[in-house]
Structure 1
Amino acid sequence: MDTKTSPPESDNATPVQPPVYNADMDTSGVDERKLVRKLDLALIPWLSLLYLLSFLDRTSIGNAKLYNLEADLHMTDDQYLISLTVFFFSYAIFEVPSNVFLKRLRPSIWLSFLMLLWGVMMTVQGLVHNFGGLVGMRWMLGTFEAGLFPGVNYYLSCWYKRSEFGIRAAIFFSAATVSGAFGGLLAAAISNMEGVGGKPAWAWIFILEGLATVLAGAASFWIIQDFPDTAKFLTEAERTVVIRRLQSDDQFSAAGENLKWKYIWKSLLDWKTWVGMAIYVGADMPLYAFSLFLPSIINQLGFKATPANLLTVPVYFFACCMTCLVGFLADRYGHRGYFNVGFLCIGCAGYIILVASRNAALSYFAVYMAAAGIYPVIPNTIAWVSNNVEGSYKRSVSLAMVISFGNINGAVSSNVYRAKDKPWYPLGHGLVLMYIMFGIIASLSYHFILRAENARRDRGERDEIIGKIDDSDMNEKNGRFDTIQDAKREKGDEWSGYRYIL
């Protein structure tokens, strides 16, 4: 008996199909394609700008270093690396609780509040006079930035179908590549303010970028939209269509879900969360190593501070194009695991060249391969993990755990490019290469385990018992539920009818 689709017949049998959300609402006048474009225009541009500012604020210290930051603060190279490292500890610690708060509160309040505070921390970072002050500000900066990236990715997953989420996550994340290019140009321009107000160029980089973030955070209170069921920029009919679209895509919790600790425990105990963490760390540690030290790497290839910053621009532009292309193709054709493995192999080849090369032109070419192999994998992994977790609270915790584990390994990336290893940095490139290989192995494992689980469900090995069947011999290991709707709501992505995205 197919218990997933054939509950027992009776006069009082509960319908198999889930109840229609807001059943009395007439949605015939809503054009779905126009509605999706409306969502894109309302959500993506501003959120991408916020992430651009976020990534600019956390990585601009790499640009500032080229303008005598260490000498002015009387820091050693080891102290500089410590100032990079502390950011990642606070950043990783506060990501999971921040995502829970985001679900409980309005995104327009929580995300704006975080941004306003980290903008203040960034500005104050330009006023420090010693190593201790810089370390303190970097810790606070990580604390308040922690909620944006996992929060926005979870937030976007609450608006779009699984086949639509990847390209949006890629566009949002591509702001990181734009910030890399923009950061080099901006640092080169701000460096002309050397001595203005008695402050060095590196201080003005922090102050001006921090003030821009404060202004954006204040504006976000009115610009960021809330979740679909309460979004003010949509009509009631449009809100209904958005939620019905999600429910038709096996996102059963789209209409709302009450916080229960069991949803959080499910995320913590789910093998997909832990393998997803392993995949993400294989790209995230290389990402931070790349973004924090690219100006220094190019600088050590023979280019001075401003030319080195400017030469990062085409690298990041290329990374941006590749990120969006992979997001589009993975949404259209699926097989996110194959995209991960393929592009991580490109990154692997780039770092093999960087380890072996002693030629500046060849190393600069390899930097492009490294960018292509790292940046597209970040949003593709986030989309892949999000696609395979159902339950709004469970998904929020899973995404936060995956991203926070990747970010804690940013502390490793902060310490592998040592001054004594320049100009070729064999230790740094070698460790990044090791992480990329780790990401390849984890991606393959995730793909094949998901495929095996889908096959088990196709064979009926995960079928639940639906309805009041009086049969004591029937195996109840997969659960007994009154209706299929109850099974969906209770089991989420563990429901036998749910199919994982490969």
Structure 2
Amino acid sequence: MDEKDDQISHSASISSREEKNIQATDVQPIISFTKDLIGDSNVITTVMSPHGEEVPVTGDVDDAMKLALEAEELQLTPEEDRKLVRKIDLCMFPLMCLLYAVQFMDKITNGNAAVMGLVTSLHMHGEQYSWVGSAFYFGYLGGLFVLPPLMQKAKYFMKTVSAIIILWGMVLALHSAPTVNYASFIFLRCLLGFLESAITPAFTIITSQYWKKEEQFLRICIWFSFNGFGGIWGSSMAYGLYIRQSTYSIEAWKIVFIATGCITIFVGFLMAIHLPDSPEKAWFLTHREKLLLVQRIRGNQQGFGNHHIKKKQIIEALIDPRTWLYFLYSFAADIPNGGMTNFMSILFKEDFQFDTKQTLLVDMGPAAVEWVSLPFFGLLSYYCYTRKFKILESRILWSTFTTAVVFIGTCMLAFADDNKQARLAGICLMYIAPIAFICTLACVSANTLGYTKKWTVSSINLLGYCAGNIVGPQTFKEAPYTGAKIAMVVCYGACIFILLALYVLNVKENRRRDKAAMENKQPLIENIEFADLTDFENPYFRYTL
């Protein structure tokens, strides 16, 4: 044995957190890390995966490993834990929520502009407006193959994201430039979608870096709910511009694009200045608080990330059945989303017979439902978790329940032909649908280990999101849009079965792993959380339900 091997062997250690009458003969191969080995590309040792395979563990570990080694002796008290998470929430959350409001406001500007004169000004006819809605997601689809890998490899992660936001704000403002050129407007929609494809994957990664996996569903519910705030903000701004349009030298729908574009650019600069590139560079945390942050996220079995793209993790993402359940859910759920995002204002005007001013005001109702209901269900799920209410703490079952409510609301819209109030109530109920989409984002964040695998699964999930949003506008042919309404009913019915399949899959796998752990008596290995292992490779990981 050479000096390096001796050093590795000497540094091996078993976590004291699992010293429950473990005998020496029970100990499986142990991973050991020393400070001078971080970054070494040679195999250190192996660990037995939940599938009974030996997994080589290299020095190509998570960015959090260095802090983890330094933090080993630190004890995180409940008081420190509460203080730390409160500080992270206050410093990170307001700007994340603001940006998510702005990115949804950017999406609905299309629908608001349509009822304010966009369709007439660009001489759209037939199904041309439907393709305006789909074009955004063609660009989004292309962006998923470029921007997530770029962000994973980026040394200055948040600066890269901020630059993308600023560019998308510029592109949005340029939507006011085309006057009679439909083709140039379609090009701008594609370019806007390409740039906006960076945001949801980036936010999913950020959430996994700073919060425990049991906290992530609530946090995603909160920042995602600001879609509703963005809807209220965008519709109220459009209403104010519309009622005073005679006082402007250009058409009011153009000002909507210019104003929202400028707001986006401003928020992009705020993001670049305020949000850190990674937790280890967080300006608002002391060095001790960074060490405590590593301690508090150990239970996630993942850390801050790894900037090397690993082919093996990409392959694992492709063969993981959860990846394709996420994809199928997002595809089915976002066919209705794509249609309603682009056609809700037109639906109110042509199907409900509201005038333009009434349409812009009524648009705020469903947005308000989304803004309030998402945090409510997130808090309800978290409350059940903290009170140990067994099955009620499952985010997937809460998502299945809310999807069933959305299914009922969609039936009200589709089949209550003679009752305008029932159809309007149905649309409002449909706006709690994001709860289940948030569940898929939270599952990607909490249940997908391995940084390359997480980026890959997140991107595939959003490919389903894009595909659904591309198809959605094409289901809206002509008023009263009966075919589109029936398509939405079918899609939400399918979503219920997909979510239940995901729940059953995770329950069975957790039970299998628990049984294997009892039989093998494998002790917890110190710092395995930050070895950048995948959920298939890490024997100590359990899927969050």
Same fold (TM over 0.5): yes
Output the CA distance in 2 between the equivalents of 1:78 and 1:12: 63
Specify whether residues 10 and 459 from structure 1 end up closer, same or farther in structure 2 by C-alpha distance, changes over 3 A only: closer
Q: Which of 321, 333, 338 is the equivalent residue of 1:271?
A: 321
Aligned to 1:352: 411
**2:286 maps to 1:235:** yes
The CA RMSD measured in Å over matched residues stands at: 2.9
Q: Which moved more, 1:63-72 or 1:488-497?
A: 488-497
Correspondence list, 1:296-307, <5 A = 296-300=346-350, 301-307=352-358
Q: Secondary structure at the match of 1:302?
A: coil
Aligned to 1:23: 71
Correspondence list, 1:34-433, <5 A = 34-105=83-154, 106-129=156-179, 130-192=181-243, 194=245, 198-247=249-298, 249-254=299-304, 258-300=308-350, 301-332=352-383, 333=385, 334-358=393-417, 359-372=419-432, 374-418=433-477, 420=478, 422=479, 424-433=480-489
Cα offset, 1:465, TM superposition = 9.8
Specify whether residues 255 and 25 from structure 1 end up closer, same or farther in structure 2 by C-alpha distance, changes over 3 A only: farther
Specify whether residues 348 and 28 from structure 1 end up closer, same or farther in structure 2 by C-alpha distance, changes over 3 A only: closer
Output the CA distance in 2 between the equivalents of 1:14 and 1:59: 53
Output the CA distance in 1 between the equivalents of 2:134 and 2:509: 39
Specify whether residues 12 and 159 from structure 1 end up closer, same or farther in structure 2 by C-alpha distance, changes over 3 A only: closer
Specify whether residues 13 and 177 from structure 1 end up closer, same or farther in structure 2 by C-alpha distance, changes over 3 A only: closer
Specify whether residues 310 and 316 from structure 1 end up closer, same or farther in structure 2 by C-alpha distance, changes over 3 A only: same
Output the CA distance in 2 between the equivalents of 1:255 and 1:70: 45
Specify whether residues 465 and 267 from structure 1 end up closer, same or farther in structure 2 by C-alpha distance, changes over 3 A only: farther
Amino acid at match of 1:366: G
Cα offset, 1:9, TM superposition = 4.1
**2:516 maps to 1:492:** no
Cα offset, 1:375, TM superposition = 2.5
Specify whether residues 63 and 15 from structure 1 end up closer, same or farther in structure 2 by C-alpha distance, changes over 3 A only: closer
Q: Secondary structure at the match of 1:158?
A: helix
Cα offset, 1:376, TM superposition = 1.9
8 A contact 2:76–2:295 mirrored in 1: no
TM normalised by structure 1 equals 0.88
* Identity of matched residues, %: 21
Cα offset, 1:97, TM superposition = 3.6
Q: Secondary structure at the match of 2:152?
A: helix
Q: Secondary structure at the match of 2:534?
A: helix
Output the CA distance in 1 between the equivalents of 2:316 and 2:517: 21
Amino acid at match of 2:423: S
Correspondence list, 1:455-466, <5 A = 455-460=511-516
Structure 1: where are the runs of 5+ without partners?
Answer: 468-481
Q: Secondary structure at the match of 2:210?
A: coil
Amino acid at match of 1:214: I
Q: Secondary structure at the match of 1:460?
A: helix
Structure 2: where are the runs of 5+ without partners?
Answer: 1-17, 35-64, 386-392
Aligned to 2:492: 436
Aligned length: 480
Output the CA distance in 1 between the equivalents of 2:518 and 2:308: 26
Cα offset, 1:483, TM superposition = 6.1
8 A contact 2:301–2:528 mirrored in 1: no
Specify whether residues 137 and 453 from structure 1 end up closer, same or farther in structure 2 by C-alpha distance, changes over 3 A only: same
Aligned to 2:12: none
Output the CA distance in 1 between the equivalents of 2:176 and 2:435: 32
Specify whether residues 42 and 284 from structure 1 end up closer, same or farther in structure 2 by C-alpha distance, changes over 3 A only: farther
Q: Secondary structure at the match of 1:128?
A: coil
Output the CA distance in 1 between the equivalents of 2:414 and 2:137: 26
8 A contact 1:150–1:400 mirrored in 2: yes
Amino acid at match of 1:500: Y
Q: Secondary structure at the match of 1:68?
A: helix
Specify whether residues 400 and 383 from structure 1 end up closer, same or farther in structure 2 by C-alpha distance, changes over 3 A only: same
* Deviations, residues 56-81 of structure 1 (Å, cap 9, x unaligned): 11221101111121111111141111
8 A contact 2:301–2:530 mirrored in 1: no
8 A contact 2:327–2:464 mirrored in 1: yes
Output the CA distance in 2 between the equivalents of 1:23 and 1:361: 59
Amino acid at match of 1:23: A
Q: Which moved more, 1:61-70 or 1:272-281?
A: 272-281
Specify whether residues 306 and 448 from structure 1 end up closer, same or farther in structure 2 by C-alpha distance, changes over 3 A only: same
Aligned to 1:477: none
Cα offset, 1:238, TM superposition = 0.7
Amino acid at match of 1:459: K
Cα offset, 1:486, TM superposition = 6.0
Output the CA distance in 2 between the equivalents of 1:23 and 1:363: 57
Correspondence list, 1:449-488, <5 A = 449-460=505-516
Specify whether residues 7 and 210 from structure 1 end up closer, same or farther in structure 2 by C-alpha distance, changes over 3 A only: farther
Specify whether residues 89 and 142 from structure 1 end up closer, same or farther in structure 2 by C-alpha distance, changes over 3 A only: same
* Deviations, residues 344-376 of structure 1 (Å, cap 9, x unaligned): 11111111111112222221111122223x122
Output the CA distance in 2 between the equivalents of 1:339 and 1:199: 47
Output the CA distance in 2 between the equivalents of 1:94 and 1:86: 13
8 A contact 1:83–1:135 mirrored in 2: yes
Cα offset, 1:487, TM superposition = 9.8
Q: Which moved more, 1:376-385 or 1:69-78?
A: 376-385
Output the CA distance in 1 between the equivalents of 2:301 and 2:254: 47
8 A contact 2:31–2:528 mirrored in 1: no
Specify whether residues 15 and 296 from structure 1 end up closer, same or farther in structure 2 by C-alpha distance, changes over 3 A only: closer
TM normalised by structure 2 equals 0.81
8 A contact 1:282–1:438 mirrored in 2: yes
Cα offset, 1:35, TM superposition = 0.9
Specify whether residues 39 and 96 from structure 1 end up closer, same or farther in structure 2 by C-alpha distance, changes over 3 A only: farther
**2:503 maps to 1:447:** yes
Q: Which moved more, 1:360-369 or 1:141-150?
A: 360-369
Specify whether residues 486 and 169 from structure 1 end up closer, same or farther in structure 2 by C-alpha distance, changes over 3 A only: closer
* Deviations, residues 409-442 of structure 1 (Å, cap 9, x unaligned): 1011122222x2x1x3211111111211121111
Q: Secondary structure at the match of 2:284?
A: coil
8 A contact 1:166–1:379 mirrored in 2: yes
Specify whether residues 7 and 305 from structure 1 end up closer, same or farther in structure 2 by C-alpha distance, changes over 3 A only: farther
Amino acid at match of 1:70: V
Cα offset, 1:13, TM superposition = 8.5
Amino acid at match of 1:107: F
